[in-house]
Amino acid sequence: MLSAELARAGVPGVVALDIDADVLARAKSRHAGLSIDWVQADLFAPAPGGNRLFDAVVSVASLHHFDARAGLIRFSELMRPGGVVAVVGLAANDWRDLPLEVLPHCVRFGAKMMGRYWEHSAPTVWPPPLTYRQVKQLAGTVLPGVRYRRHFFSRYSLVWSRPA
């Protein structure tokens, strides 16, 4: 869905990467006609076609599906100088996070009761292996100068620019 939105916004050279062939096939059929390079591959495998560098690597709700340290390192390796890594991720709560999760939990419960909760077919990893504090610390170590923000509905974002 993110790749489709980027392509519709006019971003050139969008590459959608997923290891799951079925997920890619469904996405490709839903977004037929868009200029997207649909690639089934493992993020950690050597890049098909050589060492291509990207202007941006954008990841939504995927970092918790694999080793986060290795993922952030790989994202940074795929960036050209001056490029941007942008991650929206999910993290686990520790006891200090619980007050921040009361309202989002109630909203999700209400959405489920009203039948308005989006279900997906992708594999689920829950709870995520790292807490928000662990993600923030890890990202700061792997991507010096990263901007970390905590968001509503159990999300966080990371934005990092590779030095020129």
Q: List, in order of start, the domains of the chain with CATH numbers.
A: 42-161 (3.40.50.150)
Q: Distance between CA atoms of 21 and 27, rounded to whole angstroms?
A: 10
Model pTM score: 0.84
Largest CA distance in the chain: 49
What are the tens digits of pLDDT across the range 18-34?
A: 988 988 999 999 999 99
Q: Distance between CA atoms of 52 and 15, rounded to whole angstroms?
A: 11
Q: Categorize the per-residue pLDDT at 119 as very low, low, confident or very high, splitting at 50, 70 and 90.
A: low
Paired tokens of 35: 């200029």
Residue 124 in this model has a pLDDT that exceeds 80? no
Share of the chain above pLDDT 90, in %: 59
Instruction: Please enumerate in sequence order all residues whose Cβ is within 8 A of that of 49, keeping only pairs 6 or more positions apart, or say none.
Output: none
Q: Distance between CA atoms of 23 and 5, rounded to whole angstroms?
A: 17
Paired tokens of 96: 């200090």
Q: Categorize the per-residue pLDDT at 120 as very low, low, confident or very high, splitting at 50, 70 and 90.
A: low
Q: Where are the beta strands (DSSP E) in 8-118?
A: 14-18, 36-40, 54-60, 79-90
